[in-house]
Amino acid sequence: MALPKIGNLAPAFTLLDQDGNKVSLKQFRDNSNVVLYFYPKAMTPGCTVQACGIRDSKKELAKLDTVVLGVSPDPVARLGRFIEKQDLNFTLLSDEDHAVTEKYGAWGLKKFMGREFMGVLRSTYIIGKDGRLKYIMDKVKTKSHHDDVIALIRDLGL
């Protein structure tokens, strides 16, 4: 599946958050930039490092009028436990059928320990207040993800 194109409107979606509430991309339009990041599984080592980096950067992201939405195929209940366990302060969204993940081109063939399987390709999409896709990070380093995102938002002048 082709990736969404920079400059185009980001694909619309509505998913359930960690509390079972519906969250739509359009509700952030005109008010906030959105960092939409796809990660494989809540409470796994790399995903925890990545989420905690975002958690610790919340103030800086807020100064840049930016909200973060993390998307994984985890069920709502698991997302709630992840937030509780790591004291996360941003929204996680459940995409159990990975339809939204596929729309963004973040679902594909992965290789791990000699096995091939379909799964989430760790990636991040920066969406402007106008709802348009500004940047796609397809090479994400979990340890520096938060700093990389903040630097990009500044560089893009959002």
pLDDT 10s digits, 14-56: 999 999 999 999 999 999 999 999 999 999 999 999 999 999 9
Residues 6+ apart with CB under 8 A from 131: 9, 10, 25, 26, 29
Helix (H, G, I), strand (E, B) or coil at 17: strand
- Rounded Cα–Cα distance for residues 66 and 128 (Å): 9
- Rounded Cα–Cα distance for residues 79 and 70 (Å): 10
* pLDDT tens for each residue of 70-92: 999 999 999 999 999 999 999 99
Residues tagged active-site: 47
Secondary-structure class of domain 14-153 per CATH: alpha beta
* Cβ pair 82, 42 in contact under 8 A: yes
Q: Where are the domains of the chain?
A: 14-153
Q: Which residue matches tokens 């992840």?
A: 82
